[in-house]
């Protein structure tokens, strides 16, 4: 393995991706503002309209716009996020924030999700700054995507000021174009027992054991019932368990967090009903930590995609549905979402990496998309969108 420095004669996109990886932007206290300012100060982007939107101290999102000659024409928006999940350093072979080359792959925290994509998009938009044409090109990179998409919500009003004709999202898809994605809800499952000394285990109700049995029942029935021809089946993954405060005390309460991915016809309220049916009466539900928007579904060329304003809440007396602000996507119409590039299996993984060839290919694609969009007119909109 070799460190990523200019002496390696790396491509411009790899160098920029490596520079972004070196900036600690791990949620929930990352320094996205440092990364956003680095992108804003790129010399090739001179002339772009750039605005930073603070989410919290040191955590900024960036919106850049290369205005076209016709303000009525819709823009092409490239979109990504700057934050990463925290790294479990014990599982990494090296410093997650020191990018390195392993063969033809760039290794580092956020390489796949999604700093390599952001680097390619930023360079493509910087190139577009030197071509003032009919249509506008925009770049939106956000803070706080891994924590309830708060950065996206904070820039929604700014994006709503501009007509947007299509969106390119750099989430990892191995280079395939995706025209839909699953919704998400984070649900809480809680079991209760009776606290006591660990030596009295046979005589006590152990909340952790109750949770274990509940989760076995949840998995025993196989995949969740609904399925979609485009997106497949919904999923429910146990991502967090919390119980106990001391090694010699039987826990009176155990909590599990479930990451549930939704498909059309299987929203958060349906998910809660299905999970409750599987685990039985021993589990109680808490308010979800994250609202559950409808899946983003784009099967037709045009037409707005809007999230649901409803998420599922619960109490021990049963489940109920109440309106809450949606977290993702932001509450502005997206005529056509697109996703490209990078390997989804690498996202959130130890020794996360991205192929240098994939980065180079993504940059070429993004540059081509931007150039094609800039020269398109309303009469050629469908042709330009087909090229995207």
Residue with tokens 């009919």: 134
Work out the burial of residue 113: count CB atoms within 10 Å of its CB; fewer than 13 is exposed, 13-18 middle, 19 or more buried.
buried
Cα gap 386→304, rounded to integer Å = 17
Residue by residue, pLDDT tens for the chain (388 residues) are 444 544 343 689 999 999 999 999 998 888 999 999 999 988 666 678 999 999 999 999 999 999 999 988 999 999 999 999 999 889 999 999 999 999 999 999 999 889 999 999 999 999 998 887 889 999 999 998 887 788 888 899 999 999 999 889 888 777 777 777 788 888 888 888 889 888 887 667 899 998 998 899 888 888 887 788 888 889 999 999 999 999 999 999 999 989 888 888 888 888 888 888 888 765 555 544 444 444 443 332 222 222 222 232 222 222 222 222 223 332 223 444 444 444 566 667 789 999 898 889 889 989 999 999 998 865 444 444 444 4
What is the per-residue DSSP string for 6-52? GGG---HHHHHHHHHHTS--BTTS--HHHHHHHHHT-GGGTT-EEEE
Cα gap 325→331, rounded to integer Å = 9
C-beta separation of 128 from 62 below 8 A:
no
Residue 216, φ and ψ in degrees, nearest 5: -65, -45
- List the structure tokens of 136: 């506008």
Work out the angle between the directed axes of helices 12-21 and 356-375 (0-180°, nearest 10). 110
For residue 63, give the nearest of 360, 306, 330 by alpha carbon.
Answer: 330
For residue 188, give the nearest of 53, 292, 33 by alpha carbon.
Answer: 292
According to DSSP, residue 199 is labeled G
Which CATH number is associated with domain 182-323? 3.30.70.360
Which whole-number Å values give the CA distances from 86 to 93, 97, 169, 222, 329, in the listed order?
15, 11, 22, 30, 23
What is the per-residue DSSP string for 78-143? EEEE--BPPP-GGGSSS-TTS-EEETTEEESTTIIIIIHHHHHHHHHHHHHTT---SS-EEEEEES
- List the structure tokens of 37: 């300012």
pLDDT, position 84 = 93
CB neighbour burial string for 289-326, b if at least 16 within 10 angstroms, e if fewer: ebbbbbbbbbeeeeeebebbebbbbbeeeeeeeeebeb
pLDDT, position 108 = 95
Alpha helices in 156-206 (DSSP H): 156-160
- List the structure tokens of 237: 């993954």
Sorted by where each begins, the domain ranges of the chain are 2-179+336-387, 182-323
C-beta separation of 31 from 378 below 8 A:
no
Q: List residues bridging with 129 in a β-sheet.
A: none
Fold of 2-179+336-387: Aminopeptidase (3.40.630)
Cα gap 218→234, rounded to integer Å = 14
pLDDT, position 331 = 27
For residue 25, give the nearest of 39, 41, 6, 46 by alpha carbon.
Answer: 39
- List the structure tokens of 311: 């998420």
Which whole-number Å values give the CA distances from 349 to 11, 77, 80, 89, 352, in the listed order?
24, 28, 19, 11, 5
pLDDT, position 249 = 93
């Amino acid at each position: 393995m070799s460190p990523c420095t200019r002496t390696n004669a790396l491509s411009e996109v790899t160098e920029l991706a490596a520079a972004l990886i070196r900036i600690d932007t791990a949620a929930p206290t990352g320094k996205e503002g440092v990364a956003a300012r680095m992108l804003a100060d790129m010399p090739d982007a001179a002339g772009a309209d750039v605005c930073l939107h603070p989410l919290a101290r040191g955590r900024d999102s960036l919106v850049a716009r290369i205005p076209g000659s016709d303000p009525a024409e819709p823009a092409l928006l490239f979109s990504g996020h700057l934050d990463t999940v925290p790294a479990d350093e014990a599982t990494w072979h090296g410093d997650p924030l020191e990018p390195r080359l392993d063969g033809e792959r760039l290794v580092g925290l956020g390489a796949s999700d999604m700093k390599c994509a952001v680097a390619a998009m930023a360079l493509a938009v910087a190139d577009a700054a030197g071509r003032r044409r009919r249509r506008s090109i925009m770049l939106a990179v956000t803070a706080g995507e891994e924590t309830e998409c708060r950065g996206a919500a904070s820039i929604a009003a700014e994006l709503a000021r501009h007509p947007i004709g299509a969106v390119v999202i750099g989430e990892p898809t191995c280079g395939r174009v995706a025209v839909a994605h699953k919704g998400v809800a984070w649900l809480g499952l809680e079991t209760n027992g009776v606290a006591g000394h660990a030596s009295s285990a046979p005589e006590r109700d152990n909340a952790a054991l109750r949770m274990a049995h509940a989760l076995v029942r949840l998995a025993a029935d196989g995949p969740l019932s609904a399925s979609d021809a485009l997106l497949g089946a919904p999923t429910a993954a146990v991502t967090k368990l919390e119980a106990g405060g001391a090694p010699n005390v039987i826990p009176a309460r155990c909590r599990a967090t479930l990451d549930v991915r939704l498909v059309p016809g299987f929203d958060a309220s349906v998910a809660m009903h299905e999970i409750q049916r599987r685990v039985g009466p021993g589990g109680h539900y808490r308010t979800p930590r994250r609202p559950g928007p409808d899946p983003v579904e784009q099967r037709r060329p045009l037409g707005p995609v809007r999230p649901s304003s409803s998420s599922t809440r619960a109490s021990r007396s049963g489940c109920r549905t109440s309106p809450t602000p949606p977290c993702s996507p932001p509450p502005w119409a997206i005529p056509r979402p697109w996703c490209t590039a990078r390997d989804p299996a690498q996202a959130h993984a130890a020794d996360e990496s991205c192929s240098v060839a994939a980065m180079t290919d993504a940059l070429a694609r993004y540059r081509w998309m931007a150039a094609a969009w800039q020269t398109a007119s309303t009469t050629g909109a469908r042709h330009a969108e087909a090229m995207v």
